[in-house]
Each structure stands twice: as C-alpha cells, then as structure tokens.
Amino acid sequence: MSARIRLKKFGTKKRPYYRIVIMDSRAPRDGKTIDEVGIYHPIAAEGSQVSFDAEKVKSWLSKGAQPTDTVRKILNNSNFTF
C-alpha cells in the first residue's frame, strides 16, 4: 500500500474546506482515510487558513507517505521543512 498525504474536500458549493489526510493512493478523493493530520480553509480569514500536527506529518513522511503537489505547497508556505 502506498500512502499519500492529500486533501479531502468538505463544505458546500463555492465554500470549500479541506482536511489534510493520509490515504491510500488508489482511494477516491472523499474515500476512507487512514489518519487526519490537519485542516485547510482556503476562504477563511487571514491567519486561520492552515493548521496541522507537524509531529504526525513527520511521522508519516518517515513511514514513506508522499505528499501531493498541493499539500507540499501548503506545508512549504507554513514553513514546514521536509
């Protein structure tokens, strides 16, 4: 099983928010997750757009989970080092 760190979509039309989750790479976008590590609100007010548990992310990266391009960009913008 190859795990990916990716976004899972929630919210309504034109008001999305996402959870940063660990999923099997073959699972659908809104399918079953292995672990939830954070949230991302692209429409929220400044300062509250991204929050994640850095220890969980580091743990999953050490286990071989690969972040998607979007999640990698979100984590880099939050000053997370790989």
pTM: 0.88
Q: What is the model's pLDDT at position 30? A: 85
**What CATH homologous superfamily does 3-77 map to?**
Ribosomal protein S16 (3.30.1320.10)
CB within 8 Å of 54: residues ≥ 6 apart = 80
Residue 64: closest CA among 33, 26, 24, 30: 24
Domain spans in the chain, listed from the N-terminal domain onward: 3-77
Q: What is the model's pLDDT at position 66? A: 96
Task: Please give the chain's pLDDT, 82 residues, in tens.
Answer: 699 999 999 999 999 999 999 999 999 988 899 999 999 999 877 667 899 999 999 999 999 999 999 999 999 998 988 7
